[in-house]
């Protein structure tokens, strides 16, 4: 099982990532399988890959052994970045979504702008943040990272809030109005509760997106699991890159699951029960 | 009492309602009918100010609705729509409790009232904890009606409430709606597309066409004297027959042309009495006056020993006192009987109704029309 997966992966990785890590002093990783390439003698490719794999696994073990504290630290830091930016994003996007829900013209513009923000390449956005905050001495650290991720997650939440609030069935709104609900009561008692599942789906999209974008946080000095990926690349340590990537994915899957449970829990019961 | 005074409503160039004048008596059902787009919904919605007219005034018990705060006004009026609009995230209980809660009733009173109106719309208490998605269309509309009745409004506005419900359930709902109204006596405006529904449920019918009121009168008056061709077409060719649906069997009961016998009377004695009186029908009545069956001399059968056979049936066809003449007629045709016994709701025998009385009624309606 393991062999073909790694073999496939290795095809995409530059040779250096497997090998040249011996140049890196404090990390006691072994050199990769260069031999096969150096003396360019055709060998049995199976043996070749198996040898590569063995070294990779060994390197992974060493990595985990020497870096376990750092892994925990950066993992928590990654969570912290998300844990700060997503609530900020919710606090900004949901009210915006509510505000524009009854103003279709403004809504169009707002969603368009949020859409453009999302198309900025994430790396560039982090760069822009660094430059923008530099005059206040905040160019590095949590501030630019959190801001960039918040900006990134605006669109899914705003758009979902807007869409959900506007897809409450007309009959329900008509009944509410006819029974003497004020606009505010209709919003709080009818439209928002009915919109929760869709808003939460938007939040979930943002969180998952945020987890992966936060990989770049390390580049602006905010740490996080991106550290392993970028250090791994610069040290040509495939095991480190792989570990970092797997951790980011696992975190993404984890928060997605968590928010799915939250979504179910927050959804009003009447929307969850079907006909028996 | 609701009064429309010179009400006109335009949407841009289009006149949706044109100088509407109409007074609806307290405790009656007024059916609003007419072709699609003739302004029924618009007329209805002006009462609870979901739409404001351009001209004219609407008074409820002498007070102009335009002097009232629209939100307060709406809370005092029951509103039922075709889409029903139950709140999907509220249980049946909470849906029905909506208006009482807006009125800040205490919870005990709310609870009692919710169960009271649930009972009124013939849903048992187990429905209270269900959600709208767990109900059938008919049940949902019952809950919609219960919700509108919960705060005991004096006025009820209903916009094609049974329009989306299948014919069988619609009949059942119409029947229970009439029974409920019998009890609560609200002032009701009821928009419909269905002339039969209008005839069945209405005290009065208001017929509209292109924003104007064409005829506004009691159901029997409209059936007897349609204002013009438009109304005639709306009523259909069978309006004499439709008029029969307003009339109840109880008003045509005859107490002759049959004999009644106890359950244990000897067959020979019955035959003897029937032959003496030159009759063929004997109804079997128990000691509490309930219809148990009948004997009849079957003159279509072959004679046995020179006499027609006397047949006994234990479950004779019958109609109830409140059965309409149309229904009575259709049962007569179905069963092949010219005479049917009429019983009260608890099964007591009250007499018979015969085909001739129904024919007589149709004939009279026909002459009234000619006049
Ligand atoms: N909000 C509105 N804006 C513009 N025109 C409207 C509006 N509401 C109703 N109208 C128009 O006013 C006319 C009357 O509409 P209304 O809804 O009262 O008809 P209706 O008799 O209830 O018809 P239906 O039987 O199809 O429900 C229609 O021509 C309709 O297009
Ligand atoms: Mg309508």
Chain A: closest CA distance from residue B182 (Å): 24
Residue intervals in chain A for CATH 1.10.3720.10:
68-271
- DSSP secondary structure string for all residues of B144-162: HHHHHHTT--SEEEEESTT
Which of B238, B258, B286 corresponds to the end of one domain? B238
Residues with Cβ within 8 Å of B156's Cβ and at least 6 positions away in sequence, in order, are B77, B78, B79, B80, B148, B149, B186, B187, B188, B189
- Measured between CA atoms, the residue of chain A closest to residue B78 is A179
Q: In chain A, which residues have their Cβ closer than 8 Å to the Cβ of B74?
A: 177-180
What would the pLDDT profile of B178-204 be if each residue is shown by its tens digit?
989 999 999 999 999 999 999 999 999
Q: In chain B, which residues have their Cβ closer than 8 Å to the Cβ of A268?
A: 88-89
Please give the number of the atom of ligand 1 that sits closest to the Cα of B39: 18
Torsion of CA B328, B333, B337, B338, to 10 degrees: 70
Report the 3 state secondary structure along A189-231: HHHHHHHHHHHHHHHHHHHHHHHHHHHHHHHHCCCCCHHHHHH
Which of B218, B238, B258 corresponds to the end of one domain? B238
Nearest-angstrom CA–CA distance, B137 and B143: 10
- β-pairing, B339-343 vs B319-320, is parallel
Nearest-angstrom CA–CA distance, B89 and B87: 6
Residues with Cβ within 8 Å of B49's Cβ and at least 6 positions away in sequence, in order, are B65, B66, B70, B73, B74
DSSP label of B172: H
pLDDT at A14: 37
Element of type H or E holding A59? helix A45-101
What would the pLDDT profile of B236-270 be if each residue is shown by its tens digit?
888 888 888 888 899 999 999 999 999 988 988 99
* CB-proximal residues (5 Å) to ion ligand 2: B 41
Judge whether B291 and B283 are in contact, CB under 8 Å.
Answer: yes
Q: In chain A, which residues have their Cβ closer than 8 Å to the Cβ of B48?
A: 178
pLDDT at B366: 64
Nearest-angstrom CA–CA distance, B198 and A260: 51
Same domain? B168 vs B130: yes
Q: Is residue B245 part of a domain?
A: no
Nearest-angstrom CA–CA distance, A214 and A224: 7
With a 6 A CB cut-off, is B83 part of the ligand 1 pocket? no
Burial track A176-186 (b if 16+ CB lie within 10 A, e otherwise): bbbbbbeeebb
Q: Is residue B112 part of a domain?
A: yes
Ligand 1 mean position, distance from CA B36 (Å) = 8
Edge to edge, what strands does the sheet with B319-320 contain?
Answer: B319-320, B339-343, B349-354
CATH number corresponding to A68-271: 1.10.3720.10
pLDDT at A276: 44
- Residues of chain B below pLDDT 50: 369-371
Q: Which of A75-84, A125-134, B199-208 has the lowest mean pLDDT?
A: A125-134
Nearest-angstrom CA–CA distance, B247 and A168: 45
Query: Looking at residues A193-207, what average pLDDT do you find?
Result: 95
Same domain? B212 vs B278: no
The residue contributing the CA closest to ligand 1 atom 16 is B39
Nearest-angstrom CA–CA distance, A3 and A54: 10
Chain A: closest CA distance from residue B83 (Å): 5
Nearest-angstrom CA–CA distance, B43 and B5: 12
Residue to mutate among B48, B73, B83, B87, with most A CBs inside 10 A, is B87
Judge whether B342 and B306 are in contact, CB under 8 Å.
Answer: no
Q: Which residues pair with B5 in a beta bridge?
A: B57
Element of type H or E holding A75? helix A45-101
* Cβ within 8 Å, pair A179-B102: yes
pTM (2 d.p.): 0.79
Q: Residue A10 above 80 pLDDT?
A: no
Chain CA centroid to CA A156, Å: 13
Same domain? B347 vs B279: yes
Q: What CATH number does residue B9 fall under?
A: 3.40.50.300
- This complex has an ipTM of 0.78
Same domain? B25 vs B62: yes
Mean pLDDT of chain A: 83
What would the pLDDT profile of A139-169 be if each residue is shown by its tens digit?
888 899 999 999 999 999 999 999 999 999 9
3-state SS, residue B82: coil
pLDDT at A273: 83
pLDDT at B347: 86
Edge to edge, what strands does the sheet with B281-285 contain?
Answer: B259-261, B281-285, B291-297, B310-313
Q: Residue A11 above 80 pLDDT?
A: no
Query: Looking at residues A98-104, what average pLDDT do you find?
Result: 95
Q: Is residue B371 part of a domain?
A: no
Same domain? B225 vs B283: no
Task: Label residue A44 exposed, middle or buried (CB < 10 Å: 0-12, 13-18, 19+).
Answer: exposed
Q: Is residue B244 part of a domain?
A: no
Percent of chain A with pLDDT over 70: 82
* B294-299, long-range: CB < 8 A, 24+ apart: B294/B341, B295/B261, B295/B267, B295/B270, B297/B271
Same domain? B28 vs B162: yes
Same domain? B314 vs B197: no
Picking from B351, B325, B141, B157, the residue whose alpha carbon sits closest to that of residue B240 is B325
pLDDT at A5: 39
Pairs across A and B, CB distance < 8 A: 83
Within 10 Å of residue B269's Cβ, how many Cβ atoms?
A: 10
Same domain? B44 vs B158: yes
Picking from A89, A125, A92, the residue whose alpha carbon sits closest to that of residue A215 is A125
Same domain? B202 vs B298: no
Same domain? B129 vs B261: no
Number of domains present in the structure of chain B = 2
Q: Is residue B332 part of a domain?
A: yes
What would the pLDDT profile of A212-236 be if each residue is shown by its tens digit?
999 999 999 898 999 999 988 998 8
Same domain? B62 vs B201: yes
How far lies B199's CA from each of A191, B29, B31, B110, B170, in Å? 39, 11, 8, 35, 14
Residues with Cβ within 8 Å of A103's Cβ and at least 6 positions away in sequence, in order, are none
pLDDT at A214: 94
What would the pLDDT profile of A17-73 be if each residue is shown by its tens digit?
333 333 333 334 444 433 334 444 555 667 777 777 888 888 777 777 777 888 889
pLDDT at A26: 37
DSSP label of A31: P
Same domain? B6 vs B135: yes
CA dihedral sign of residues B198, B201, B205, B209: negative
3-state SS, residue B123: coil
pLDDT at A274: 64
Reported in sequence order, the residue ranges of chain B that DSSP labels E, i.e. its strands, are 2-11, 14-24, 29-33, 55-60, 63-64, 77-81, 155-159, 187-192, 204-209, 212-218, 259-261, 281-285, 291-297, 310-313, 319-320, 339-343, 349-354
Residues with Cβ within 8 Å of A151's Cβ and at least 6 positions away in sequence, in order, are A117, A125
The residue contributing the CA closest to ligand 1 atom 22 is B41
Nearest-angstrom CA–CA distance, B235 and A202: 54
With a 6 A CB cut-off, is B14 part of the ligand 1 pocket? yes
Q: Is residue B168 part of a domain?
A: yes
With a 6 A CB cut-off, is B20 part of the ligand 1 pocket? no
Q: Does A183 touch chain B (CB under 8 A)?
A: no
Q: What CATH number does residue B259 fall under?
A: 3.10.580.10
Which of B184, B218, B238 corresponds to the end of one domain? B238
More confident residue, A130 or A197: A197
- B121: containing domain: 2-238
- Measured between CA atoms, the residue of chain A closest to residue B74 is A180
């Amino acid at each position: 099982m393991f062999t073909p997966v790694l073999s496939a992966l290795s095809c995409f990785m530059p040779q250096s990532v497997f090998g040249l890590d011996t140049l890196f002093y404090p990390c006691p990783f072994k050199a990769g399988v260069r031999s096969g390439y150096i003396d360019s003698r055709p060998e049995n490719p199976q043996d070749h890959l198996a040898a590569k794999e063995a070294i990779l696994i060994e390197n992974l073990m060493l990595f985990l052994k020497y870096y376990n504290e750092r892994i925990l630290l950066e993992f928590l830091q990654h969570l912290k970045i998300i844990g700060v930016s997503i609530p900020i994003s919710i606090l900004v996007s949901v009210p915006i979504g509510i505000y524009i829900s009854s103003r279709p013209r403004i809504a169009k513009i707002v969603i368009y702008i949020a859409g453009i923000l999302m198309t900025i390449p994430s790396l560039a956005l982090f760069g822009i943040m660094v430059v923008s905050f530099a005059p206040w001495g905040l160019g590095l650290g949590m501030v630019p990272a959190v801001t960039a991720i918040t900006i990134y997650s605006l669109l899914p939440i705003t758009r979902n809030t807007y869409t959900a609030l506007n897809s409450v069935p007309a009959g329900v709104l008509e009944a509410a109005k006819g029974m003497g609900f004020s606009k505010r009561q209709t919003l709080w008692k009818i439209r928002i509760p009915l919109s929760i599942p869709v808003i939460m789906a938007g939040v979930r999209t943002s969180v998952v997106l945020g987890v992966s974008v936060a990989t770049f946080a390390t580049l602006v000095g905010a740490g996080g699991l991106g550290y392993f990926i970028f250090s791994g690349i610069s040290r040509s340590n495939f095991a480190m890159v792989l570990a970092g990537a797997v951790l980011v994915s696992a975190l993404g899957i984890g928060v997605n699951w968590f928010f799915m449970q939250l979504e179910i829990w927050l959804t009003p019961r009447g929307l969850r029960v079907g006909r028996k | 009492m609701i009064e429309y005074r010179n009400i006109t409503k335009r949407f841009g160039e289009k006149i949706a309602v044109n100088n509407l004048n109409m007074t609806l008596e307290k405790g009656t059902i007024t059916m609003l009918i007419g072709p699609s787009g003739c302004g029924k919904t618009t007329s209805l919605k002006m009462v609870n100010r979901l739409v404001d007219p351009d001209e004219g005034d609407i008074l409820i018990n002498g007070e102009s609705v335009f002097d009232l705060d629209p939100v307060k006004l709406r809370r005092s009026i029951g509103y039922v729509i075709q889409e029903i609009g139950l709140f999907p995230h509220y249980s049946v209980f909470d849906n029905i409790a909506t208006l009482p809660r807006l009125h800040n009733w205490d919870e005990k009173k709310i609870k009692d009232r919710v169960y009271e109106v649930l009972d009124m719309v013939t849903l048992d208490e187990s429905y209270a904890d269900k959600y709208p998605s767990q109900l059938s269309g008919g049940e949902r509309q019952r809950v919609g009606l219960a919700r509108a009745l919960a705060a005991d409004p004096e006025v009820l506005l209903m916009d094609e409430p049974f329009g989306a419900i299948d014919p069988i359930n619609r009949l059942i709902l119409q029947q229970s709606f009439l029974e409920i109204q019998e009890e609560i006596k609200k002032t009701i405006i009821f928009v419909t597309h269905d002339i039969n529904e209008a005839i069945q449920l209405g005290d009065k019918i208001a017929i509209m066409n292109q924003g104007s009121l064409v005829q506004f009168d009691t159901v029997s008056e409209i059936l007897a004297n349609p204002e013009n061709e438009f109304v005639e077409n709306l009523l259909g060719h069978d309006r004499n027959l439709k008029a029969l649906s307003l009339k109840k069997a109880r008003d045509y009961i005859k107490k002759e042309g049959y004999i009644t016998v106890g359950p244990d009377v000897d067959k020979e004695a019955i035959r003897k009495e029937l032959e003496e009186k030159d009759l063929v029908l004997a109804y079997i009545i128990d000691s509490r006056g309930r219809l148990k069956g009948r004997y009849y001399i079957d003159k279509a059968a072959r004679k046995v020993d020179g006499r027609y056979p006397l047949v006994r049936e234990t479950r004779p066809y019958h109609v109830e006192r409140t059965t309409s003449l149309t229904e009575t007629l259709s049962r007569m045709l179905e069963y092949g009987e010219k005479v049917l016994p009429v019983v009260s709701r608890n099964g007591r025998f009250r007499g018979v109704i015969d085909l001739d009385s129904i024919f007589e009624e149709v004939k009279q309606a026909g002459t009234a029309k000619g006049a």
